[in-house]
Structure 1
Amino acid sequence: MSKCEKIGLFPGTFDPITNGHLDVIRRGQALFDRLVVAIGHNPAKRRLFDMDERQAIIEQIIRAECDDHVEVAVYQGLTVDFARSINATAIVRGLRNVSDLNFEFQLALTNRSIADIETVFIMTGETYAFASSTLIKQIAAGGEIDRLGRLLPAVVIERLKQKKQEHGGTLPWAHVDHLKD
């Protein structure tokens, strides 16, 4: 790593990764010498895919659709601590709407104050402005997995179908919490 290398960190639970996340990754990769898509653990959220499944899915998508300087990592703990450990220049955050902006603005100011790290906001494409991982889980739990084709990469659709089949045609996480992802 050179001292002047610009490293972006795009953290999230990515459970599941959506086309909106991919939109942010594709545009974010042009801003940094290296972009790290970091899968974090959020104990306040119910899991759809475990950490290993999420990592495998995202690595498959990144290999197929992104530049060589995009990589996937898994971390525990505070995002700012992980950002420091990889010498990140900035944390990348996707914004869908004004509600996201209010939350993300407060988080960005806190991160800059306590960890001296900047935040770069990327507006998601208007096609994905309404989609969240929580909404995706609710739709999938209702059995309409194929209808999610505009919002999810094909590999995620297939993994959702497999998971449903493994659980006898139902999804064990059918009642999800309404939390921001």
Structure 2
Amino acid sequence: MEKKAVYPGSFDPFTNGHMDIVRKASAIFDRVYIVMAVNSEKRRAFDCRRMQEAMERALADSGIRNCEVSIYDGLIAEYTKHHGIGYMVRGLRNNMDYNYEENIAEVNKLIDPSLEYVYFRADNVAVSSSMVKELRHYGQDVSSYVPPAIAALLADGNTER
């Protein structure tokens, strides 16, 4: 039986930290669904479709072939049930991330009781989408914090929503 996992996030933008988690998950699971979750409470800085395309290029450039990138605007636990996915992948930078993820896990387990969580320790603990956006806002070069395909997207003046 194929072991499938979902790795959801806003990926606004997709960073090297996200890529580290994808590499780890893709080495363990047969199929990883990277789901760009649309949060109705948050305004995106970067267009979903263009980010999805850049993420797909980043995966291809890295030789990762068992991952699929999609955009979803519903509850992730509903997505896992619908696609027969048994595992939720999350990256942890610190204990605050763990506490936050455990609260979300409880809610998701109410919707999909069979869903299991797998946590990976983030290697780039200082890298976050928020940090990349902040540095970029102040004119800093962020290319060392994101995969090259994402850096190319961010260098394009039409990436914002």
> What is the count of residue pairs matched by the alignment?
160
State how far apart, in whole Å, the 2-side matches of 1:109 and 1:118 are.
Answer: 11
Contact 2:58–2:150 under 8 Å retained in 1: no
Q: Whole-Å Cα distance in 1 between the matches of residues 80 and 70 of structure 2?
A: 11
Q: SS state of the match for residue 17, structure 1? A: coil
| 2:144 partner SS | coil
**Alpha-carbon separation, structure 1, partners of 2:88 and 2:79:** 10
CA distance in 2, matches of 1:82, 1:26: 22
Which residue does the alignment assign to 2:103?
106
Q: State the Cα distance separating 1:62 from its structure 2 match.
A: 1.1
Q: TM-score, normalised by structure 1?
A: 0.82
Task: Detail structure 1 runs of 4+ shifted over 4 Å in the superposition.
Answer: none
Cα distance, 1:66–1:96 mapped onto 2, change above 3 Å: farther
What is the match of residue 132 of structure 1? 128
For residues 11-34 of structure 1, the C-alpha deviation after alignment (integer angstroms, 9 at most, x for no partner) is 111110000000000010111111
Which runs of no fewer than 5 residues in structure 1 stay unpaired?
A: 174-181
2:138 counterpart (120, 142, 148): 142
Per-residue CA shift, 1:144-173, capped at 9, x if unaligned? 1x2x2331112222222212xx59xxxx79
Q: 1:46 maps to what in 2?
A: 43
1:151 alignment counterpart: 145
Structure 1 counterpart of 2:77, which letter? V
CA RMSD in angstroms comes to: 1.7
Task: Give a deviation string over 1:9-56, Cα, whole Å, max 9, x none.
Answer: 001111100000000000101111111111110122221211111111
Q: Structure 1 residues 121, 66: CA separation in 2 closer, same or farther (over 3 Å shift)? A: farther
Give secondary structure in 2 for the equivalent of 1:21: helix
Check the 8 A contact 1:26/1:66 in 2, yes or no: no
Tell me if structure 2 keeps the 8 A contact 1:89–1:118. yes
Letter in 1 for 2:119: F
Which letter maps to 1:159? L
Distance 1:76 1:123 in 2: 27
Q: Does the CA contact (< 8 Å) of 2:6 and 2:32 recur in 1?
A: yes
Aligned residues: percent identity? 32
Distance in 1 separating the partners of 2:31 and 2:63: 12
Cα gap change, 1:108/1:66 in structure 2, threshold over 3 Å: closer, same or farther? farther
Structure 2 stretches lacking a partner, 5+ long: none
CA contact (8 A) 1:7 1:34 kept: yes
- Greater relative contact order structure (CA < 8 Å, 6+ sep): 2
State whether residues 9 and 90 of structure 1, in contact with CA within 8 Å, keep that contact through their aligned partners in structure 2: yes
Q: Which amino acid aligns with 1:77?
A: G
Query: Conserved in 2, the CA contact under 8 Å of 1:39 and 1:72?
Result: yes
Three-state SS of the structure 1 residue aligned to 2:100 is: helix
- Counterparts of 2:131 and 2:42, CA distance in 1: 13
Question: Matches of 1:88 and 1:107 in 2, distance apart?
Answer: 17
